[in-house]
Chain A
Amino acid sequence: MESLDPRIRPADLEASPASSGLAQNEEWETYAVFHQDKRGEQHVFVGIVHAPDPELALLFAKEQFGRRKKTVNLWVVRSADIFTFQHEDDDMFSTVPEKTYREASGYPVRKRINKYLEEVKAVAEHMRDAVEL
């Protein structure tokens, strides 16, 4: 099946045999593994595996991270492809606690949601009454 997300490369198990041979390589790379426990949920980083290529990384990830909990999908990403800040620069983030107005929890949406739900309920009741009449 074609991937619904063209940014991601899915393994084609039907097309296995895998593409390439293994080169002489003492030091394997690490791959970050992302685990999904339910369709539609986010893939969450769970750890790394050592592997010489993405195919073997996925093969190993399946047993390392898929065997003890419910799993519907895994991603592997070469650790070297992850771009990140350095921990020394975490002072960039340190002003956030003072700016509580930026936290999503600060938004007064609950009232509006409740008001909307009440409206829907009222309309539904009205419709039912109309049908019964």
Chain B
Amino acid sequence: MADDELIIGHRNSEWTGLGPILEEDIAFSSIAQDQIGHALANYALLNEHFGEPTPDIIAFSRNEKEFRSSQFVELPIGDYAFSLMRHFLFDHAESLRYSLLTESSFAPLSSLAKKIKGELKYHVLHADMWVQKLGKGTEESHARMQLALNETFPYALGMFEPPNFDRELEGQNIFIGETALQTRWLEVITPILEHANLQLPSLPIKERMYGGRQGYHTEYLQPLIDEMTEVYRLDPAATW
């Protein structure tokens, strides 16, 4: 979860200063910042409750094989339609995930989920609005959004690659499990996409892009990590 949030937050932040208009640039940058904030909150939980190092060390001193993020989030930003579509697919999953986690038996996680509910509400509103406006906009905007959906969808399914401990989380009522989350996600996004005149691609199950949760990544992750950690690596012990 935290790795997904860190990597997509970094990718989305690459739009800062380049967004299509100033107002949207600010909104999308804020969303990116929220996502990095959620990553930080989760790394802090790992640090406080599971003996992992501090958030900065977890975030900045691993190589790509150690990242558990889906391949979906590491793909380059593409055109704005690509990034918006990824934001739509990602934040709906994120919003549902945290909404389910408000019931988690692991109290620190359920309280985090309650705390960030409002942020995710805005993320989803922002994503839905753009998907509608562009899906039902001009011929060109519709075509770009449909293309973006076709490209991102197989990777988006990679968000629901079950980790080895999926059953264990479910058994202890910590989390309902990835398959159940994916089902709910499809139930939510399908009518919204239809309403925007966009067609969800039907694809054979083997084409979904799994691997990220096991540390198998595309060629795009390591360069991102190199850039993200460039300053940190100059002096890992520096205080800010």
Q: Are B132 and A17 in contact (CB under 8 A)?
A: yes
Q: How far is the CA of A59 from the CA of B24 in the complex (A)?
A: 9
**Most interface-central of A22, A51, A60 (chain B CB within 10 A):** A22
Total interface residues on B, CB under 8 Å, equals 25
Q: Is A62 an interface residue (CB 8 A)?
A: yes
Q: Pick from B26, B128, B135, B138: contact of A63, CB below 8 A.
A: B26
Q: Are A21 and B137 in contact (CB under 8 A)?
A: yes
A49 neighbours in B (Cβ, 8 Å): 23
Q: Is B126 an interface residue (CB 8 A)?
A: yes
Q: Is A28 an interface residue (CB 8 A)?
A: yes
Q: Are A63 and B137 in contact (CB under 8 A)?
A: no
Given contacts A17-B196, A18-B132, A23-B137, contact A50 B125 (CB under 8 A): no
Q: Are B129 and A28 in contact (CB under 8 A)?
A: no
A20 neighbours in B (Cβ, 8 Å): 132-133, 136
Q: Are B27 and A18 in contact (CB under 8 A)?
A: no
Q: Is A9 an interface residue (CB 8 A)?
A: no
B126 neighbours in A (Cβ, 8 Å): 59
A13 neighbours in B (Cβ, 8 Å): 121, 125
Assign chain A's interface to a size class.
20 to 34
Q: A47-66 toward B: CB 8 Å interface, digit per residue (1/0)?
A: 00111100110011011100
Q: Is A105 an interface residue (CB 8 A)?
A: no
Q: Are B23 and A64 in contact (CB under 8 A)?
A: yes
Q: Are B27 and A22 in contact (CB under 8 A)?
A: no
Q: Is A3 an interface residue (CB 8 A)?
A: no
Q: Is A67 an interface residue (CB 8 A)?
A: yes
Interface residues of B in 55-86 (CB under 8 A from A): none
Interface residues of B (CB under 8 A from A): 21-24, 26-27, 30, 121-122, 125-126, 128-129, 131-138, 141, 192, 195-196
Interface residues of A (CB under 8 A from B): 13, 16-24, 28, 49-52, 55-56, 59-60, 62-64, 67
A-B contact pairs, 29 of them (CB 8 A): A16-B129, A16-B132, A17-B128, A17-B131, A17-B192, A18-B128, A19-B132, A20-B132, A20-B136, A21-B132, A21-B135, A21-B136, A21-B137, A22-B138, A23-B138, A24-B138, A28-B21, A51-B23, A52-B133, A56-B129, A59-B125, A60-B23, A60-B26, A62-B27, A62-B122, A63-B23, A63-B30, A64-B26, A64-B27
